Amino acid sequence: MRLAYYPGCALHGSSNDYEQSLRACLGKLEVAPQEIQEWICCGATAAHALNHKLSIALPARNLALAEQQGFEDLLAPCPMCSMQLLKAAKLMDEDAGLRREISSVIEAEVSGRVKVLNLIQVFQRIGLDRLKPAVKNPLADLKPACYYGCLLTRPPDVVKFDDPEQPSSMEAIAAVLGAKPVDWNYRTECCGAGMTMAKEETVLELSQRILADAQQHGANCLVAACPMCHVNLDMKQGDIEERYGERFGLPVYYLTDLVGLALGISAEELGIDRHFVK
Amino acid sequence: MAAAVDLAPNQIVRALQLGNFEKAMTSDAIWTCVSCQTCSTRCPQSVDCAGIMDALREVSLQRGLASPAQKTVVAFQQAFLKNIQRNGRLDEIELIAEFKLRALPSQRSLRFLFKDASLAPLLQIRRKLHLRGEKVKDRALVRRVFERCKDGKHA
């Protein structure tokens, strides 16, 4: 599978454990995503909150680069990035004038032929039937709460992925790995996203509810496919426990950690030893 | 977030329908909103409330309507954009430094300035701290893109 890779800033910053996990896991499945040269930040919330045109132009530039570099499929493992890329593509598909305008802003043409994939879609593309026989260590002891957060499934008309209220694609993968995903309520509730710095109390409050619900439903870990969700639930878990006087002790895995462990990759190779909650 | 704000998304939309733009644009809600897209997804009338929040933030910023309580969030988003404008990619340490300095006049506390500093060694031992962030090669192009988007509007 020839696959372009848009890491986004987080995976090259403090969420570099996600990139380590992703490369180890996909490598084992003989998928080697190729990083887009000269990619730029998608603008994230800052762009869509402060400057609408920039929130289209920045992702569009990356779509154009992927096209120029000869790719048809593009993995964006951060749901913020993938949603922004998909939104820019959608807006330009619906408006030829906008496409021309953005092309002149970013000094490149975007035909719209690149398909943007989130991490779960890459596993679906590989095929769960192919994944199943590759499992060496079934994760029989794991009862994960599969956590989708906001942007993997929302807004549904942009991302067109799974069910925005009752998603099940991550549970399907976890089940193939031999884990027993729990049924719980907060799968698509927000963790506070990029407010970690700007409004920490929001993050602590929203993430506490997620951890508490996971615990109440018998989970012994959480699984996420988003760098920001991971920061808020893993790095901030100690602060949440302190603030609310509760003890969770719930490890938070990236989806690639779970698949990687089942494929027989060590926790160190996946970077799990670099998480906060052990 | 609807339960934790002064105006819920449906109340914001109602205020706009009634022509009360001031009320919507000066609300805490537009800066407390975490852009989780839940309101847009669940609206029975298919109103893109989250998109409206974006538009309100943009206009509120242009007109300088954000209250001191909201200025910390504004400072963060502005520092973020300035950072990408310079580097093409986010430099986390630079972002934190610039955010703290921008927000300091409204926060007025040393505790705020140094609150996250204790995280640095914890990130360091996990090899998550990058003292120098990545930069793209063609930063002049990034600056031109920002320049052409200055007014925020498209045709």
> What ipTM describes this predicted complex?
0.94
Identify the pLDDT of residue A132: 97
A166-179, pLDDT tens digit by residue?
999 999 999 999 99
Residue B58 has pLDDT above 90, yes or no: yes
Identify the pLDDT of residue A13: 95
* CB atoms A54 and B152 under 8 Å: yes
Residue B147: partners with Cβ closer than 8 Å, 6 or more residues away? none
Please name the residue that has the structure tokens 């300091």: B104
Residue B67 has pLDDT above 80, yes or no: no
Inform me whether the C-beta atom of residue A12 falls under 8 Å from chain B C-beta atoms.
Answer: yes
CA distance A218 to A224: 17
Identify the pLDDT of residue A90: 98
CB A164 within 8 A of CB A154: yes
pLDDT band, residue A159 (cuts 50/70/90): very high
* CB atoms A54 and B128 under 8 Å: no
Residue A98: partners with Cβ closer than 8 Å, 6 or more residues away? A56, A91, A92, B154, B155
Cα-Cα end-to-end distance for chain A? 34
Among A19, A20, A37, A53, which would you mutate to test the B interface (most chain B Cβ atoms within 10 Å of its Cβ)? Answer: A53
A194-212, pLDDT tens digit by residue?
888 888 999 999 999 999 9
Residue A23 has pLDDT above 70, yes or no: yes
CA distance A33 to B52: 36
Identify the pLDDT of residue B104: 83
Q: Collect contacts of B79-85 with beta carbons under 8 A, ≥24 apart.
A: B80/A44, B80/A45, B80/A46, B81/A43, B81/A46, B81/A47, B81/A50, B81/A51, B81/A54, B84/A40, B84/A41, B84/A43, B84/A46, B84/A58, B84/B142, B85/B142, B85/B143, B85/B146
φ, ψ dihedrals at A74, nearest 5°: -135, 120
Residue A163 Cα distances to A5, A144, A154, A167, angstroms: 25, 19, 9, 5
Q: What share of chain A is helix, strand, coil (3-state, %, to 5)?
A: 55, 10, 40
Identify the pLDDT of residue B70: 84
CA distance A48 to B51: 9
Inform me whether the C-beta atom of residue A192 falls under 8 Å from chain B C-beta atoms.
Answer: yes
Identify the pLDDT of residue A91: 98
Q: Indicate the helix (H) or strand (E) that contains A201.
A: helix A200-216
CA distance B75 to B151: 19
Inform me whether the C-beta atom of residue B122 falls under 8 Å from chain A C-beta atoms.
Answer: yes
Average pLDDT of the residues in B135-143: 97
Measured from the Cβ of residue A140, the count of other Cβ atoms closer than 10 Å reads 10
Q: B137: number of CA atoms within 13 Å, CB side?
A: 2
Minimal CA separation from A256 to chain B, in Å: 18
Q: Which residues pair with A34 in a beta bridge?
A: A4
CA distance A163 to A181: 17
Average pLDDT of the residues in A105-122: 97
* CB atoms A52 and B58 under 8 Å: yes
Identify the pLDDT of residue B155: 55
pLDDT band, residue A267 (cuts 50/70/90): very high
Average pLDDT of the residues in A100-115: 97
Residue A100: partners with Cβ closer than 8 Å, 6 or more residues away? none
Q: If 0-12 CB within 10 Å is exposed, 13-18 middle and 19+ buried, where does residue B151 land?
A: exposed
Residue A234 has pLDDT above 80, yes or no: yes
Q: Please give the model's pTM, rounded to 2 decimal places.
A: 0.96
CB A143 within 8 A of CB A214: no
Residue A256 Cα distances to A60, A141, A191, A214, A273, angstroms: 27, 17, 20, 20, 14
Inform me whether the C-beta atom of residue A102 falls under 8 Å from chain B C-beta atoms.
Answer: yes
Which residues between 12 and 31 in chain B have a beta carbon less than 8 angstroms from any beta carbon of chain A?
none
CB A206 within 8 A of CB A229: no
Please name the residue that has the structure tokens 């409206």: B52
Average pLDDT of the residues in A14-24: 97
Identify which of A159, A88, A44 has the alpha carbon closest to the alpha carbon of residue B41.
Answer: A159
Residue A65: partners with Cβ closer than 8 Å, 6 or more residues away? A36, A37, A38, A39, A108
* CB atoms B126 and A274 under 8 Å: yes
Inform me whether the C-beta atom of residue A106 falls under 8 Å from chain B C-beta atoms.
Answer: yes
Residue B3 has pLDDT above 70, yes or no: no
Average pLDDT of the residues in A119-123: 98
Write down the mean pLDDT value for chain A. 97
Residue A236 has pLDDT above 90, yes or no: yes
Average pLDDT of the residues in B118-147: 92
Minimal CA separation from A130 to chain B, in Å: 33
Identify the pLDDT of residue A198: 86
3-class state of residue A34 by DSSP: strand
A243-252, pLDDT tens digit by residue?
999 999 999 9
Residues in chain A within 8 Å Cβ distance of B119: 235
Q: Which residues pair with A75 in a beta bridge?
A: A5, A117
Identify the pLDDT of residue A195: 87
Residue A65 has pLDDT above 60, yes or no: yes
CA distance B19 to A249: 49
